[in-house]
Structure 1
Amino acid sequence: MNPVEPYELRLSEAAERIRSRELSPVELTDSVLGRIEALDERVGAFAAVMGDRAVGAARAAEQEIAGGRYRGPLHGVCIAVKDLLDTAGVPTTSSSRTRADNVPAANAAVVDHLEAAGAVIVGKTHTHEFAYGVITPTTRNPWDLDRIPGGSSGGSGAAVAARMCQGAIGTDTGGSVRIPAAVCGTVGLKPTYGRVSRRGTASLSWSLDHIGPLTGSVRDAALMMDVIAGYDRADPATRDVPVPRHGEGLSAGVENLVLGVPRNYFFDRIDPEVEAAVRAAIGRLEDLGAELREVDLPHPELYMPAEFGILVPEASAYHQETLRKLGDLYTEDVRMFLEAGELMLATDYIRAQRVRTLIQQGWRDMFAGIDAVLAPTLPAVAARAGELAFTWPDGVEEPVINCYVRTSAPGNLTGLPALSVPCGFNSEGLPIGLQIIGRPFAEPTVLRIGAAYETATDWSDRHP
């Protein structure tokens, strides 16, 4: 058996070897940077590689650990950050020409937390421009370079899948952590709204935006959540509630948990191979001791109108001044959405917010008898680059963005924690994701369910 290269290690594995001094942060960082140099010309995951800064951070981590000042599991581990989050002294462009010269003076809150934990930030990952899309056109899917990595956190998903970092940060407004996690075969967690500070992060839709990790395993996601979660007075959306140890209880299994299986919506229009893989995953969780209970999702016909009825005008409000000054520098698809948002009426926006309240109340009632909902992360696998729509067996064409957002938007509208874990592959070898949606601030339960499934299968062990 060939020896494992440091870049191949999962976050938790690298952390343990660094803690025990079997592996040095410098050795790991050199290996990861070599991996990026070898692959990223084809994958295109990184907007910027912070090589010199990363090596400096790795050397500092090595010295601290040698001196007995170990900060925790992220100390000396290589992390990538989506190019929406400010990094002091390093360009933060949001993958947009409108911010080509933007070099922030301070870090985003999440970046501060990562650096305080001793993480080595190796680079900034590409996003669909300002997170306004699900394609990430600069980046390709490591499982098939002719396909998209999803979006908007496509660079983060591709970087983790190709093992160009041990973990990455993404943002999720309509599914933008879970979509790339599903199509790239990684784990992706959208935390509860208000669990993670968004200070210093470019907004797409401030009442729908979330920040979360993409990783190679559920345990890795838990370790990252321990670092990035918490109250921040500078972000009024964050909630001043206790932050648990997300890794505790991961091995507790799913016995005594009641898991909801939707009768409607999530399985209404779905690729047969995706449905088969997801239903097999649900059956596996039942075999592991979970009780399954069928549920009816409330007001499903309102999810997409509410999602876009809120997202589109909020995005246009955020970009209003820049659109006037630098409108020609936006990509065509993003500019079209921004201009369309300026035509929406305030009364329509307010109505969409009222509808969201109705949806949230309905989901709250549904959760009265269950611990989590199990569903497909997406109805389809990764689209081909340039493919604008999926054609369903009944001949109906559905735009790629609508298809992907359709099953992820409920998590954003409700603000509930939602985890995507790999649950199989289709006949072309493309990954499929299982989505686990939990109660407010119940990230440990969602992660516990994901860990039980991950431990009982080998999907997360496979790499492109």
Structure 2
Amino acid sequence: MDFSSLTLHEALRLLEDGTTTSVALTQAVFSRIGAVEDRIKAYLAHNEELALQGAEQADALRAQGQGGPLCGIPLAVKDLLCTSDFPTTCGSRMLERFTPPYNATVVEKLHQAGVVITGKLAMDEFAMGSTNENCAFAVPENPWKAGYIAGGSSGGSAAAVAADECFGALGSDTGGSIRQPASLCGVVGMKPTYGRVSRYGLVAFASSLDQVGPLSKDVRDCALMMEAIAGYDPRDSTSINRPVPVYSQVLERGVRGLRIGVPTEYFGQGLDPEVETAVRRGIELLEQAGAEIVEVSLPHTQYCVAVYYLIAPAEASSNLARYDGVRYGFRAAGTDGLQEMYNRSRSQGFGDEVKRRILIGTYALSAGYYDAYYKKASQVRTLIKQDFETVFRQCDLIASPVTPTPAWPIGEKSDDPLSLYLSDILTLSANLAGIPGMSVPCGFTSAGLPVGMQLQAAHFNEEVLFQAGASLEQQLGIAAKKPVIGGV
């Protein structure tokens, strides 16, 4: 049996009944990494020796009847979550040699759950991008088609899960960075409600938008991972102190009686016909399963891209000011004076997209422009949030596409940042409103590229997303479909 192809919950069951060991699962994962990583390029760092030590400890705990709920399961994490055992580069030359002295809260929670961490996954530099082409070290490829993007910014996480290089992964979502690559790579991805999962130890991009979440092979795996990482953290001032449901207990409830809203604004000009067909088919299946489908409107959707690309760069401008070449990170050599050291360290340490967003954000926050740009964007953000509040008085959740198109060839849009920004139009609003969203595979294009359905719900109502996601997954029966990677 190829253990690496199992879902997380299948592997967990084998561990629990003694059929296999964590060491065997970990060895299988690293064997898979050895077989496909040259093509996928999902990892920025992995350590088999360290992982096997963790697996041996997990097996010893199981033998004593101890260990957490995910004891012995190999998972990987996006490279903007602080890890004391691995460098945390954020995909940037600026932090190329930086190893944090502590672990992020979600990494601590994984350790407490008994997880074996295999390594750190590729990402767009400081999470700024939609394709992972902005990573300074590697550009992951879509497991379903060589030479195509895996999405971003959590592209390495989505690609690693789809390619069976781990049993699940953590990513972060600031404007769609979990849901978009999950959709493009044919895996499940969840952006939790803002405040549901701790951001302590997450290297900040835009602090009012960032949220950590899981990418997984199916909906049950996503639920199990959410149970492990969610919860209040006093070290994160934005963390919300409220109980965490047992998400895996709602998966069999189905959708009968649920009202599902379909936003008219999400099915318009620019939507690929094959994406629309797959998503519409998914909505029909949910209706056949007993859900009531209602048409709804989110009238301020047209402003989401403009609002996001003022608020996110403004917050990034502030957050990235700490990389000054003094305390940690890259420092340019041979500089003459403090100002030159600042200028050259930032110019050489940051990539073009990061510098572009810092410039946009600094301009939006500058004297004389703050009211016209950042303040106005914040006011429209409130209107976007109110749109969702109105809709969720009419329905339990919203169903829509995740992205307007399937994955495209690497390099196709590299010289057109505006086109890349517009590709996020269907995911940005969830971050602006702080609501939870999930991407669930719902079909494939004629070229064999995955398509995901986006499910969104009211604040802290992740349970209904798991209900609907599990129902859709069960009816479609495509969760077990695997990409063929170089004949392996």
Range of TM-score over shorter length: over 0.9
> What is residue 394 of structure 1 aligned with on the other side?
none
Alignment-derived partner of residue 96 in structure 2: 100
SS across alignment from 2:424: helix
Alignment partner, residue 115 of structure 1? 111
Map 1:236-315 onto structure 2 (within 5 A).
Answer: 236-315=237-316
Aligned to 2:216: 215
Is 1:19–1:70's contact at 8 Å kept on the other side of the alignment?
no
2:351 is the counterpart of 1:327 = no
- Write the mapping of 1:228-243 to structure 2, written as runs, cut at 5 A: 228-243=229-244
Aligned amino acid, residue 333 of structure 1:
E
Judged with a 3 Å threshold, the aligned counterparts in structure 2 of structure 1 residues 96 and 404 are, in CA distance, closer, same or farther, namely same
Cα displacement string for residues 290-337 of structure 1 (whole angstroms, at most 9, x for unaligned residues): 001110113122211111111011111111242633321222222222
Paired residue secondary structure (2:423): helix
**What residue number does 1:408 align with?**
427
Question: Structure 2, unaligned stretches of length 5 or more?
Answer: 134-138, 325-341, 484-488
Instruction: Give per-residue Cα distances to partners, 1:309-367, cap 9 Å, x unaligned.
Output: 11011111111242633321222222222223211132221221121112112210111
* One-letter amino acid of the counterpart of residue 122, structure 1: T
Cα displacement string for residues 227-281 of structure 1 (whole angstroms, at most 9, x for unaligned residues)? 1001111111111111111111111110010000112244342000100110011
Q: Aligned with 1:343: secondary structure?
A: helix
- Residues 425, 341 of structure 1: CA spacing in aligned structure 2 closer, same or farther, 3 A cutoff? same
Separation in structure 1 between the aligned mates of residue 267 and residue 22 of structure 2, nearest angstrom: 43
1:177 paired residue number: 178
Decide which of 28, 36, 39 is 1:31's aligned counterpart: 28
TM-score of the pair, normalised by structure 1: 0.95
Distance 2:358 2:145 in 1: 31
Quick one: distance in 2 between partners of 1:14 and 1:50? 21
Stretch deviating more after TM superposition (320-329 or 354-363): 320-329
Residue 460 of structure 1 deviates from its aligned partner by: 1.4
Structure 1 runs of 4+ off > 4 angstroms? Answer: 397-400
> Is structure 2 residue 367 aligned with structure 1 residue 346?
no
Q: Which residue of 1 aligns with 2:486?
A: none
Other structure's SS at 2:398 match? strand
Cα distance in structure 1, aligned partners of 2:391 and 2:352: 41
The SS at the match of 2:252 is coil
Question: CA separation in 2, counterparts of 1:313 and 1:377?
Answer: 25
2:310–2:360 CA contact under 8 A, matched in 1: no
Please tell me whether the aligned partners of residues 177 and 189 of structure 1 are also in contact (alpha carbons under 8 angstroms): yes
Counterpart for residue 338 of structure 2: none
The structure-2 alpha-carbon separation of the partners of 1:416 and 1:404, relative to structure 1 and needing over 3 Å to count, comes to same
Q: Residue 48 of structure 2: which of 48, 51, 57 is its match?
A: 51
Distance 1:387 1:299 in 2: 29
TM-score by length of 2: 0.91
1:383 aligns with 2:408: yes
Alpha-carbon distance in 2 for matches of 1:407, 1:309: 17
Find the aligned partners of 1:422 and 1:39 in 2 and give their Cα distance. Answer: 22
CA distance in 2, matches of 1:198, 1:83: 14
Query: Which of 11, 16, 36 is 1:14 aligned to?
Result: 11
Q: Is the 8 A contact 1:80 1:122 kept in 2?
A: yes
Amino acid at match of 1:119: V
Report the residue type matching 1:440 in the other structure: H
Matched residue SS, 2:152: coil
| Deviation at residue 401 of structure 1 after TM alignment | 2.0
Q: Secondary structure at the match of 1:435?
A: strand
What's the CA shift string for 1:206-243, capped at 9, x where partnerless?
Answer: 00101100000000000000010011111111111111
> Aligned AA for 1:260?
G
Question: Residues 11 and 167 of structure 1 are in contact (CA less than 8 Å); yes or no, is this contact kept in structure 2?
Answer: yes
Corresponding position: 1:440 with 2:459 = yes
CA positional deviation for 1:53:
1.5
- Look up the match of 1:417: 436
- Report the Cα distance in structure 1 between the residues aligned to 2:422 and 2:384, rounded to whole angstroms: 20
Query: Identity over the aligned pairs, expressed in percent?
Result: 41
TM superposition shift of 1:174? 0.7
Distance 1:253 1:462 in 2: 22
Specify the alignment match of 2:122 in structure 1.
126
